[in-house]
Chains A and B, each alone.
Chain A
Amino acid sequence: METTLARGAHSAAPPLLQVDSVTLAFGGVRALSGVGFGVQPGSITAVIGPNGAGKTSLFNTISGFYRPTGGSIRFKGQDITRIPAPQRARMGLGRSFQNIALFRGMTVLDNIKLGRHAHLKTNVFDALLYMGRARREEAALRRDIEERIIDFLEIDHIRHAPVSALSYGLQKRVEMARALAMQPEILMLDEPVAGMNREETEDMARFILDVRAEWGVTVLMVEHDMGMVMDLSDHVVVLNFGQVIAQGVPAVVQADPEVGRAYLGSGNVDELRAKLRAAAQPAMAGAA
């Protein structure tokens, strides 16, 4: 029987990321209602749920793209709910995107270098002159990226290629590289293996585990591939209709009948409606 002390996680430590009763509404549409969970440092946490459950909205809220209508988000003990997105990136919130958001006007290398932006110091005067501080910083950056990221993700053969010329799988890898360049303490991966074949998925899974082992990075991922979720994660959070309907160790979550119903449907709409209404009551009271 698996205990909640999952492999690799230090549950005695305070959570690296704490999401508390987060509610997100767009006009009349509630994307998230009273979502709450914690991510332990050094763990791999997966957020799963049927399409439209609010997983990407959750990521976007944590990243700072959306401002939640209620609730709070704490990162490294600090309340970041009001902090703008670029600053969150500087604090160590790294991110990859569901529908590859690489910059098509740049090469692979430049895209990866961009990830480091928030940690660099070159200002516009340094940049115009280039000789001196900018050149040194760029050279150091290049060296660091080559040795630690490009080597690690095995993309040295495409470093100067324009990203638009790459295959889907390679683009996803470059996205990961860019996220790593952000020197993240927590790496948020939005569907890292979407659209990949068996081999590519295994490669990516290996990278994720290596990232955790070698870099000490905490991973929070949205994923649909149940195999990957069950094999990799220490903790699973299940979303449906913007609410957390279950969370815990993979085996427990997998066995939870609620989760089964969320994915497969109970066939009884009234029962589902009643269940949701009941679950929404404490959340609404909390958000009020």
Chain B
Amino acid sequence: MTTTQHKVKVDITHRYGNLLVHDRLQFSVRENEFLCICGPSGCGKTTLLDILAGILPSSEGNVLIDGSAVDPKRDRISFVFQEPSTFPWLTVWDNVATGLRIKAIKGKELQRRVNEIIDIVNLRDFIDYYPHQISGGMKQRVAIARAFATDADLILMDEPFVSLDQPTRERMQREVLHTWEHRRHTVVFVTHNLEEAVFLGDRVIVLSAKPARIVADIAVPLPRPRDPLSPEFTRIRAECVSVLHSLDPAQGVLPDRRMAKAG
């Protein structure tokens, strides 16, 4: 386990007031790996991503990116949020350009990179629209394009498709895989949908409810595109499900109502 082959090393304990959210959570993410994190709602998944992104300090421990503490000003990190996050006062094009502009990319280079990603997510016809003029699914595509435009080394996704209908969700899953295969960045994808996790990830980490601990770390050695109806897929999904079901409710691993906000 050398730091060179690991993009991200996590070793954190986090408290929210007196509430223990993450109890000595330890894992690493390899360079270019697509890691899915699964867990019951309220287990602190969103909080975990905020800590990984370096915008929320953990109570104890640290997050290392390429061997040094995470710093959003230096590390190239992108984040696709669960809630709508487009800027209503910017057009689709300017929304997608936001991350690049923060990184001080201008002129021809900015044009080229924004236009490239806009074509990938198929928003070409809507570049001059404001968010209130497009559908919720398109807004989420704008947010995904904004996250992918910066060519980040690490992309964090927080249940990005949860508000989409089934066909759009499936298209977006293929879209994200397609972009990832082209660009090859490290992805940490949070979801409470086990099937989605097994469909997308190289590896699935299953968390318990608060305080979150890792209860399983399952590799998904299936070639892509994956068939959710294939026996191997079904077997791995069943393994994940049995892990989740084996969590004993009596030990307080069921969703905790005290902090329903944390996703």
B and A form one assembly: no
B residues with CB within 8 A of A = none
